[in-house]
Amino acid sequence: MSARREALLWAAQRASAALLALCVVVHLATMIYAAHTGLSAAQILERTRGNAAWLGFYSVFLLAVVVHVPIGLRAVLSEWLGWRGASRDAVLAAFAAVLAWLGARAILGVFL
């Protein structure tokens, strides 16, 4: 069971990394565009509110973060602190839930 879980976690981290590579580029390009063209907060909200494409893009971005970050932290906690087992995984699951909640709040904040 452990071997299967580790293999699936590895696959999930690779797949989420591929998504992140794309999403981070789009996100940075958007931020640079918004900053350099001098868009105001109101103008940005005008573009994002009710925009299903942005909602979809940032939902995928958030999903990739929620999957990728806890798996990476899992290895850091194991190797640097020697923390393994169910307690570590429970804390990371809670951390993933917090990330998902904060991210969803930010996305809905500019969509609704």
Partner 1 sequence: MKTLDVRVWRGGAHGRYQGFQVPREESQTVLDVVTHIQRVQEPTLAYRFACRVGMCGSCAMTVNGVARWTCRTHVDLVAPDGRLEIAPLRNLPVIRDLVTDMREFFDKWARAKGRFQGRRTRREDFERVAPDSEARKQVDAAIECIGCAVCYSSCDVVAWNPDYLGPAALNRAWTLLRDVREAANPERLRAVAGDAGCHACHTQMGCSERCPKQISPTAGIAGLKRAAAAAALKGEL
Instruction: Name the residues that contact partner 1, by CB under 8 A.
Output: 2-4, 6-11, 14, 75, 78-80, 84
* Nearer Cβ to partner 1 (51/78): 78
SS3 content of the chain, % helix, strand, coil (to 5): 90, 0, 10
* Nearer Cβ to partner 1 (8/97): 8
User: Residue 16 CB, nearest distance to partner 1 (Å)?
Assistant: 13
* Nearer Cβ to partner 1 (10/33): 10
**Closest CA relative to residue 45, chosen from 92, 97, 112:** 112
**What tokens appear for 70 in the block?**
């806890």
